Chain A
Amino acid sequence: MLGFRLSAQRPPAEHRRISDVVISRYEHVYEVDPRLMQEHVRQQSLPEWDFHRIIENRVEHLVWMQQHFADSVISGDDLIRELEQEGD
Chain B
Amino acid sequence: MAVPTLDTAVVDELVAICGEENVLTGRSALFNRARVPAPFPLHRWEQFTPQAVVLPTSTEQVSAVVKLANRARVPVVPRAGATGLSDGAVPIRHGILVDVKRMDKILEIDVDDRTVTVQPGINMMKLSQRLQPLGFIYPDDPASYPCSLVGGRIGTSGFSLISGRFGHTRDLVISFEIVLPTGDVIRVGDGGGRKIRKSSSGYQLKHLFMGHQGTLGIVTEATLELVTRPEAEFSAFFSYPSYLDAWRATGEFARSGLATLAGVVLFDEQKVAYLRRDDEAWIPAPDWVKSITAVAMYGQKDEVRAGAKQIMRIAKANGSTYAGDEVSQGDWWSRHDRYATPLHGRTRSGQAVLMSWHCEDAAINHSQLPAVREKWHWIVDDLRRRFDTFDDWGMFSYTNGAFRPGGDYLTEIDVGIWEQRYDEEMWAAWVDAKREIARVAIEHGGSMSSCHGSCREGEVDLLPLELGGGFDVMKKVKRVLDPNNVMNPGKYLLDQAYEEEA
**A touching B, CB within 8 angstroms:** yes
| Contacts from A to B (Cβ < 8 Å) | 18-19, 21-22, 28-30, 32, 36-41, 62-63, 65-66, 68-77, 79-80, 82-83, 88
Minimum Cβ distance to chain A for residue B256 (Å): 14
Contacts of A39 in B (CB 8 A): 347, 351
Contacts of A88 in B (CB 8 A): 313
User: Roughly how many angstroms separate A75 CA and B351 CA in the complex, as a whole number?
Assistant: 39
Minimum Cβ distance to chain A for residue B497 (Å): 42
User: Roughly how many angstroms separate A37 CA and B345 CA in the complex, as a whole number?
Assistant: 11
Q: Are A40 and B353 in contact (CB under 8 A)?
A: yes
Q: Determine whether B422 belongs to the interface, using a CB cutoff of 8 Å to chain A.
A: no
Please provide the 4 A-B residue pairs with the shortest distance between their CB atoms, ordered closest to farther.
Answer: A70-B233, A62-B333, A70-B230, A74-B234
User: Roughly how many angstroms separate A87 CA and B336 CA in the complex, as a whole number?
Assistant: 38
Q: List 26 A-B contacts (CB under 8 A).
A: A19-B283, A21-B350, A22-B277, A28-B280, A29-B280, A32-B278, A32-B352, A41-B354, A62-B330, A68-B128, A69-B137, A69-B141, A69-B162, A69-B230, A70-B230, A73-B233, A73-B329, A74-B305, A76-B236, A76-B308, A76-B322, A76-B328, A77-B325, A79-B308, A79-B309, A82-B309
Q: Per-residue CB proximity of B308-337 to A under 8 Å, as 1/0?
A: 110011001000001011001110011010
Query: In this complex, what residue of B is CB-closest to A68?
Result: B128
Q: Determine whether B232 belongs to the interface, using a CB cutoff of 8 Å to chain A.
A: yes
Q: Determine whether B492 belongs to the interface, using a CB cutoff of 8 Å to chain A.
A: no
How many residues of B are in contact with the other chain, CB < 8 A? 48
Q: Majority SS of interface residues in chain B?
A: mixed
Quick one: given A18-B283, A22-B283, A83-B309, are A62 and B334 in contact (CB under 8 Å)? yes
Q: Determine whether B132 belongs to the interface, using a CB cutoff of 8 Å to chain A.
A: yes
Quick one: given A36-B350, A76-B308, A77-B325, are A70 and B333 in contact (CB under 8 Å)? no
Q: Determine whether B133 belongs to the interface, using a CB cutoff of 8 Å to chain A.
A: no
Minimum Cβ distance to chain B for residue A25 (Å): 13
Quick one: given A40-B351, A41-B343, A76-B328, are A65 and B336 in contact (CB under 8 Å)? yes
Quick one: given A32-B278, A76-B312, are A68 and B129 in contact (CB under 8 Å)? yes
